[in-house]
Structure 1
Amino acid sequence: MSAPNSEDTILRSLNEAQRRAVISNSKTVAIIAGPGSGKTHTLTSRVVWLVQRMGYRPNDVIVATFTVKAAREMKERIGKALGEECQKKIVLGTFHSISRRYLSIYGKHIGLDSKFGIADDGDSKAILQRICKRLNLGIEPSYARSWISKKKAKGPGSAPSQTTKKQKENPALQTCYEEYQDQLARSNLLDYDDLLVKCVELLREHPVCVSNVQTVLIDEYQDTNGIQYELMRLFAQANKRITIVGDPDQSIYGWRSAEIRNLYRLLRDYPNTDEISLEENYRSSQSILDVSLNVIQQDKKRYQKVLLPVHTKGARPVLRTLKSSAAEGEWIVSEIKRAIMITLPAH
């Protein structure tokens, strides 16, 4: 599928590290990308490279993101490079949307009705409220929801059916879980966590469903949890070609069971991984990077990397303590207005 001068077109706007990441021939590539280092541009360029230069079939490529917005942005960028028709063939979306896609097509193999519905957060909350009230379980529905979600996020190996110390102390949680799942089944519903759980079940029992997949690419890898790691592994089980992009320093979903150690897990499970760090920062000044590095280096267990500013040293950062989030917002707006007034770039 290569086009004249397509190599120059793809690589022209990349720096040396980004270029190495895009054209790497390793089966597994880990791109460690700090803030402002062009990670999205690098990942989309690798997708284009694999399809346009390496001849990967678009419908055999899976690209998983964490937000609908990120998926939309990647679709737009890839569409501009490969054309809309080619872009639409790529399996690109959030982990949940990709899982739903496979379950809609192949779910019958694990006894799932192809016309299953999705229980959103509001539905899940309402179901649990009814269960807790009807059975007088003595637990908060919101706590039960969080407990169930965290257990599912760990993956089938840590499913709530296992006996844990917490369950021994409060068996009402297990009762609530069983009633909740039973209610979902009777209503032909899956909640968002079930989409991932059921897709793992499907791909473990019927790997032929993804036997065509040539490569898997994961954005914001630092935010993956246990079951998403397992999904990545199962998506790629036929050829074991994986590219991840992430920054352990930017993990913000610990409350949602994200596991920073998944990076080390990848390096352990795929020992020949090509590790590439994107060190050039196009967003912040040297002064801002110095302050942020002084803070993050206090974590002695962090993955060691550096960020090199493309911009000049810049103004010295100011620590401003305000009374409330509303006051912070007002101050930020006033600073932006002031910067515009004196024609200085806002940082």
Structure 2
Amino acid sequence: MAEHFFERKRNEVGVSLNEVQRRAVQRTEGPLLLLASPGSGKTTTIIMRIGYLLEEKGVDPSRLKAVTFSRASAGDMKERFKRFFPGLPPDCVDFSTIHSLAFEIARDHFRRTGTAYRLIEGELQPETEQAAADSITLPVPVLHKKIILRELYERITRNRLTDDQMEELTTYISYVKNKLIPQEKWASVKCDVPDAERVLREYETFKRTGTDKLLIDYDDMLVIGHEALERDKALLGKYQRRYDYVLTDESQDTSLVQHAIIEKLVRAHGNLCVVADDDQSIYGWRAAEPQYLLDFKRTYPRAAILKMTQNYRSTKAIVGAANRFIKRNKNRYDKTMFTENESGKPIVIRSLSDYKYQAKYVAEQISGVEHLREVAVLYRNNSSSIALMNVLDKSGIPFYMKDGDNRFFSHWVVEDILNFMRLTYTDKRPELFESIHTKCIGYVTRQQMAAVRDIRNNESVFDNLIAYGELKDYQVKQLLEAKETFANMRGAAPLEAIRTISGKLGYEKAIDKMCERLGFRKEYLIGIVNALEEIAEGLATMEEFANRLKHLEQAMKSSRHNKGTNAVTLSTFHSAKGLEFERVYMIDLIEGIIPSNDDIKKFEGGEPANMEEAVRLFYVGMTRAKSHLELLAYRWRDGAKTKESRFMEHIRKLQAPAPSDRQGAPQKAASRSPSQTPAPASAARRAEPARPAKRPLSEESRQTIARLKQTGKAFHRSFGSGEIVYMDDETIHIRFEKGLKKLLLTVCVETGLLRPVSG
């Protein structure tokens, strides 16, 4: 019977399963843990198992529940099911997220107990959220999780909650709920947001007593659903009787409370199939519980464990290195991933001389690729995408930013830098200085600032502070220095201005103090300043810099429309899980980023969990690549020495011989050869490394540039035909049908992106 099923599906839809996959499909009774390595055909196996239950075992579709981690995964499974089993009703199987299931249980509980409730999480209009962030009184009170938390935090601490702090605070709350941590232990959970535990306690109280209804957020769905099943035996029995077979996907991302809900549902019959990969558990900070998988046999003593380890995605070179790399983790199931695909080329490992070459190098490498949709650039932190986006935009290379987060452009650090710059044009606007006065030399108190806030005598705010602010002598001296520095900055190039703001005006020192006081991550904030420097490089005026920021913000928004088109994908490692590309570039692979400084600190203190998760994250990045994988680090950044990631070093040792620019420059190097750049003489943060001579242009490229100057018209592979409006040795400005584009001349010419048009 089973053989007939497999043969029929092979003939009908071309699905052919290997031996382990067949066993996973056929073992329908009792608990099963199916460990699915990357690229092992996990989703295909899941769908075939569901179809087998329906077509061969005669199970009523309404008696089967398939639970996954995200709505996108549930949608993907539903579409795959329709394709594999067109003869079955398309919606006969209940594919849903764990939150959807928990909310159904919670609503049932509320009906039984007569509890009125209101959901306070979901989409919030950007203008409403911004108004709340700016402490603007809204015409009608908005009951939304973020607004409630913001108001509670400001009342408790007398400080405003930044977007970064909001993200950390909501992550802390979610962690506590998903781990089922009792209230008396909330304070033991680390959170860098001041008074986070008190905010959480008051938030919980407000949800219960602040209105005439019980207010619930997404995490409450899980906790209430779990508690309802725990306390209401009749309700538990109802849901246990509803489903005879339960299947969960992406279970390495599942939290303790989510596992507990599933455990209760299947207690009566035990027919549970858990599909997971402990080696791809990368959401520990969001309360994912990979240890639950390792203890699966303790929870389900009769359980069978199957390992799907054949990779159908990647070459032997990539699979072999990834398989050996993940074995550095100790807390995992022992398994060996393999493939029968071609050997392929070794992983490319490059340690560029300086950070500033990285984005340009990537742009050059991918600019000649015809199918950009098969290219991905992956990184750990979203801040890595800004400099990359800037160069791709200049090069005219279309991109899709999977994690596009426009908050970068409204971040308070960006706004601070712009306000510093605005103050160079006029120092007669007290509101500008008030926005930065605590982050500048010549520290001025709030009371002193208040004394001059409303003075409108058309005099310098610095002079008014000295005259009316009752300053101490050291403050007067420093304010005069600041006034002179602002005056000298007027008309400066934006890159020079940012460095003056960070150094001479004391902004970087102010960031240090804020990090100590408020728990901000210094690396993240300095990373924003670094990204602004990247954007400012080569721009002539501060106005041009402000316009460039607006342009890039719009480019990031527009990139969402490039999904599914011929565009390169930019993504964090986390968001790339489940995706695959022919070519993958992993960037910013240095100590302090992956692994992070916190990972390293905990590992050296005898806590390996964070380091093992960082290993898994790196492994997820590697296993996205089908045929070409490139790992990129750099030896200097902002004049300071960096150290390549220990993970990259490990891959280098696993692979021999490994192509590396340590033996010479890359074949398609950036306009300067990174490997030939000598180290800076000083390790001062802003020191400039020596600049090597530019690589000479080929004769063909020189002729192309000459013809571009002659014709005044050009054709770009992505933007079409356009009129050249400006051109120098490095850049070319072209007016296309969709608007003016500023491109890197040599990159576009040497990679064939741009050619002259006669007539």
TM-score (normalizing by structure 1): 0.85
CA deviation digits over 1:98-117, x for unaligned, max 9?
A: 2223333443235543x632
Contact in 1 for aligned 2:157/2:195 (Cα 8 Å): no
Equivalence map 1:84-233=2 (5 Å): 86-113=89-116, 116-120=118-122, 123-136=144-157, 141-155=166-180, 158-159=181-182, 161-163=183-185, 166=188, 172-185=195-208, 186=211, 188-204=214-230, 205=232, 206-210=235-239, 211-233=241-263
Q: How does 1:226-241 map to 2 (within 5 A)?
A: 226-241=256-271
2:56 is aligned to 53
Distance 1:74 1:142, change over 3 A: closer
Query: What's the CA shift string for 1:32-90, capped at 9, x where partnerless?
Result: 11001000100111111112222222122111111211111111122334458744243
Measure the CA separation in 2 of the matches of 1:145 and 1:279: 36
Distance 1:98 1:312, change over 3 A: same
Residue 298 of structure 2: aligned partner: 268
**8 A Cα contact 1:26 1:274, kept in partner:** no
Distance change (3 Å), C-alpha of 1:177 and 1:199: same
Structure 1 residues 75, 133: CA separation in 2 closer, same or farther (over 3 Å shift)? same
1:119 partner letter: E
Instruction: Work out the CA distance in 2 between the residues paired with 1:23 and 1:298.
Output: 33
SS at match of 1:88: coil
2-side partners of 1:6 and 1:39: how far apart? 19
Query: Quick one: distance in 1 between partners of 2:9 and 2:219?
Result: 37
User: Which residue does 2:322 correspond to in 1?
Assistant: 292
Paired residue secondary structure (1:55): coil
Q: State the partner residue of 2:43.
A: 40
Stretch of structure 1 that moved more, 200-209 or 40-49:
200-209
Alpha-carbon distance change, 317 to 133 in structure 1, aligned in 2, over 3 angstroms: same
SS of equivalent residue, structure 1 residue 195:
helix
Confirm whether residue 27 of structure 1 aligns to residue 38 of structure 2.
no
Q: Which runs of 5+ in 1 are unaligned?
A: none
The one-letter code sitting in structure 2 at the alignment partner of 1:76 is E
| 2:70 is the counterpart of 1:67 | yes
User: Secondary structure in 2 aligned to 1:239?
Assistant: coil
Work out whether residues 178 and 255 of structure 2, in 8 Å CA contact, stay in contact via their aligned partners in 1. yes
> What's the CA shift string for 1:185-237, capped at 9, x where partnerless?
43543211111111111222221231221111111111111111111112222
How many pairs does the alignment contain? 338
Q: What is the CA-CA distance between 1:132 and the residue it aligns to?
A: 1.4
* 2:281 paired with 1:251: yes
CA distance in 1, matches of 2:302, 2:67: 22
The CA RMSD measured in Å over matched residues stands at 3.2
Alignment correspondent of 2:7: 8
- Equivalent-residue separation in structure 1 for 2:280 and 2:368 (angstroms): 26
Deviation digits for residues 289-326 of structure 1 (CA, Å, limit 9, x no counterpart)? 12112321111222111112121111111013463785
Q: 1:78 aligns with which of 77, 81, 86?
A: 81
Closer, same or farther in 2 for the Cα pair 1:117/1:339, shift >3 Å?
Answer: closer
1:9-49, Cα deviation, whole Å (9 max, x unpaired): 34762111100000014401111110010001001111111
Measure, in 2, the Cα distance between the counterparts of 1:189 and 1:332. Answer: 52
Residues 82, 190 of structure 1: alpha-carbon distance in 2 compared, 3 angstrom cutoff = farther
Letter in 2 for 1:20: R
Q: Return the alpha-carbon distance in structure 1 between the equivalents of residues 114 and 197 of structure 2.
A: 24
Residue range with higher mean Cα deviation, 280-289 or 128-137: 128-137
SS at match of 2:295: helix
Secondary structure of the structure 1 residue equivalent to 2:57 = coil
Q: Is the 8 A contact 1:92 1:98 kept in 2?
A: no
Distance 1:335 1:236 in 2: 53
The answer on whether the counterparts of 2:229 and 2:264 sit within 8 Å (CA) in structure 1 is yes
Specify whether residues 42 and 62 from structure 1 end up closer, same or farther in structure 2 by C-alpha distance, changes over 3 A only.
same
Task: Supply the distance in 2 between the matched residues of 1:287 and 1:228 (Cα, whole angstroms).
Answer: 37
Could you say what secondary structure the match of 1:128 adopts? helix
Distance 1:336 1:7 in 2: 39
Q: Answer with 1 or 2: which has the greater Rg.
A: 2
Flag the 1:338–1:217 CA change in 2: closer, same or farther, 3 A. Answer: closer
Question: Which letter does structure 2 place at the counterpart of 1:146?
Answer: T
CA distance in 2, matches of 1:131, 1:86: 49
Q: Is the 1:203–1:209 Cα contact (8 Å) retained in structure 2?
A: no
Matches of 2:190 and 2:35 in 1, distance apart? 41
Q: 1:139-195: per-residue Cα shift (whole Å, max 9, x none)? A: 85544323221110113xx23x23455289999544422321233343543211111
Partner Cα separation in structure 2 for residue 84 and residue 116 of structure 1: 40
The 2-side partners of 1:9 and 1:267 are apart by: 35
